[in-house]
Each structure stands twice: as C-alpha cells, then as structure tokens.
Amino acid sequence: MSDFAALFPGQGSQHVGMGFELAEVYPAAREIFRQADETLGFALSRLCWEGPEEELKQTENAQPAILVHGFAAWTVVKSDLAGRVRFGAGHSLGEFTAYTAAGSLRFEDAVRLVRRRGELMAASRAGTMSAVVGLDSAVVEEVCARVSGEGKVVVAANYNSPQQIVISGEVEAVERAGALAQEAGAKMVRALPVSGAFHSPLMTDAEAGLREALEAVEFKDPEFPVVSNVTAEPVSDADTARSNLVSQLTAPVRWTEGVQRMAQEGIGEFVELGPGKVLTGLLRRIDRSLAGAEIGQPEDVERFSEGKS
C-alpha cells in the first residue's frame, strides 16, 4: 500500500467488547486504555469490554470509548504508517480522533474533550435522527425544507453516501420528513438509536461549552491534513481546526464530499481504525473504485503488517 488516508469512526460504532482483544495482545493498546481510565477517573476500559451496553451507548460514554479504541489501534500500527498517511478524516466524533492521531491534541486532552462534548450534546434539546436510503440529497433537502416551512426543525445532517442521508431535528419533524421521504420513493427510512438531534440547530446550546473546552487545551497544527466534516476540505492549521470542531456540532457532516476530495488528491486506499467497519462500507457506496480495510482487532493488525490489507 502506498499513500493512504486514515479514517476514524463516529458514534454508533461502539459495542460491548470493543478493544478488548487488541489490548490483550498489544501492550501499547492496553496502555492507551489505562491512560484513558486514569484521565477520566473511572474504568472506561471495563465499560468498553464488559458493558453494560445501555451505559456504553450513552453519548458521554460512547464518544470517549470510540476515540480510545481508534487511537489504540493507531498506536499499534503507526510505525507501519510512518510517512504514508497523506490525509486523516473522522466521521463527526472521529474528527477528534483524527486530530489526535495527527499530533494536534494530546491524548489525555482529547479524551477529556470528547467526554465533555458528549455531556454537552446529551444535555442539548431533545430530538432524534433517521437514515434515509435511496434518495438523492436534493430530494431529502427539499423534504426537510418543506417540513421546516411548517415551523418545525429538521435538516439533512449526515451526507454519508450519495444514497444515504441522515436527517436530524425535532422528533415530530423527523417522523414527518421520513414519511414524506418514503412517499418520494425512499427505499428505507430507519430511526437511529440516538437521544439527540446531532448536527442540527438543536445542538446550538452545546457550542459555547465546547468552544470553551477547546480553548482551554493546547492545539497544534496537524502533522498531516485532516479533512473537515464542515467544509470537506483538508485542514492544516490549528485555528481552523478548532473553529471547525465547534461548527461541526450544528453543521452537516459532508462525508461524501470529503471522501471524494481525498480521491481527487490521488488516494485510492483507506484504513479505518477503531470499532466496526461502517466507514469502510461507505467507501464503495461513494466510489466503487475505492478500497478500504479496517483495523480494530489483532487479526486486522496482522493482515495490515503483512501487507495483505
């Protein structure tokens, strides 16, 4: 594998047992989980490895859990990646992991930041999200605009692939938009198991708190560009990165455009680090010529190290 992009997943990828085998086999990964426990003041590692699931999936727990697993995987393989990462990118929360891997944030600061981010998001106005499959983004946007015109809040929040858009907003508005999407020909509308309207105006209350938390930590220029969820453009300076991470709370995740931008820059191979393989699966839906591999388990590391990924 030549130059590639390192991808980091977002909330929803968590599962009980995440990172256990990686930490059992690799001391470097085990140390990352230990540092996270010490930083947060509770056994996040135990929650990741043993659950209970209901507690793990709470926003304030899921976000640091996913970051820790992603960074642990990065720590295990980064010596194999030296000089070969041209871009980093992360889906929503995963953008924090990308900046941590790129050396912009100290790991301990990143863990505290995403824990705080999760708390702020959990405390924001109630809402929900649904995935709409099989409609062009323009049609989904039109549906959201129609419902918003009725005085309700619903927006296109995640542009995951050309045919998968997540909508976010007030519960009634998301349900109404989902029904209209089905009438417009959507193949599927699926409610997501979340307690908030992420990447929508309902997250506005969380912005001030996250901005304050980001300003309280040292943020360096990344060692490799990180593609922003907000702009779909590579970011190479700390000030822009910090600003975008705040804006990301209420702005849509432009994942499709970000992947396409990296492909335009010559990236054909991607590695997803952390739990699951959601982002790897989305690659082929965005561009069938793109190849991806996931690194979350010891066998993934072995394949990658042997050059078989």
Residue 75's SS3 state is helix
206 and 163, same domain (yes or no): no
For residues 129 and 253, is the Cβ–Cβ distance under 8 A?
no
- Residue 115 covered by a domain: yes
Catalytic site residue 92?
yes
116 shares a domain with 21: yes
Residues 183 and 262 in one domain: no
Q: Out of 136, 164, 191, pick the residue that ends a domain.
A: 191
Please report, for the domain that includes residue 178, its CATH number: 3.30.70.250
Phi first, then psi, for residue 196 (nearest 5°) are -140, 165
Catalytic residue among 13, 45, 92, 161: 92
Query: Are residue 119 and residue 133 in the same domain, yes or no?
Result: no
Q: Give yes or no: residues 95 and 12 share one domain.
A: yes
The total number of structural domains in the chain stands at 2
Q: Which of 191, 219, 245 is a domain's end point?
A: 191
Per DSSP bridges, beta strands 234-235 and 226-227 are: antiparallel
The verdict on 99 and 21 lying in the same domain is yes
The pLDDT score that the predictor gives to residue 306 is 80
Burial class (CB in 10 A: 0-12, 13-18, 19+), 265: middle
Count of other CB atoms within 10 angstroms of residue 60: 17
Show pLDDT as tens, one digit a residue, over the chain (309 residues). Answer: 468 999 999 999 999 999 999 999 999 999 999 999 999 999 999 999 999 999 999 999 999 999 999 999 999 999 888 788 999 999 999 999 999 999 999 999 999 999 999 999 999 988 999 999 999 999 999 999 999 999 999 999 999 999 999 999 999 999 999 999 999 999 999 999 887 999 999 999 999 999 999 999 999 999 999 999 999 999 999 999 999 999 999 999 999 999 999 999 999 899 999 999 999 999 999 999 998 999 999 999 999 888 744
Q: Pick the closest to residue 111 from 76, 71, 139, 151 (CA basis).
A: 71
Q: Are residues 263 and 149 in the same domain?
A: no
169 and 39 inside one domain: no
Last residue of a domain, one of 191, 214, 244: 191
Q: Are residues 181 and 218 located together in one domain of the fold?
A: no
* Residue from 91, 124, 199, 309 carrying the catalytic annotation: 199
69 counts as catalytic? no
Question: Is 141 in the same domain as 262?
Answer: no
- Strands 164-169 and 154-161, by their bridges, are antiparallel
Same domain, 32 and 111: yes
Sorted by sequence, the CB contacts under 8 Å of residue 256 that are 6+ apart come out as 159, 160, 161, 162, 286
Angstrom distances, CA of residue 180 to CA of 34, 172, 185: 48, 12, 9
Which residues span the domain enclosing 64? Answer: 4-123+201-305
User: Is residue 196 situated within a structural domain?
Assistant: no
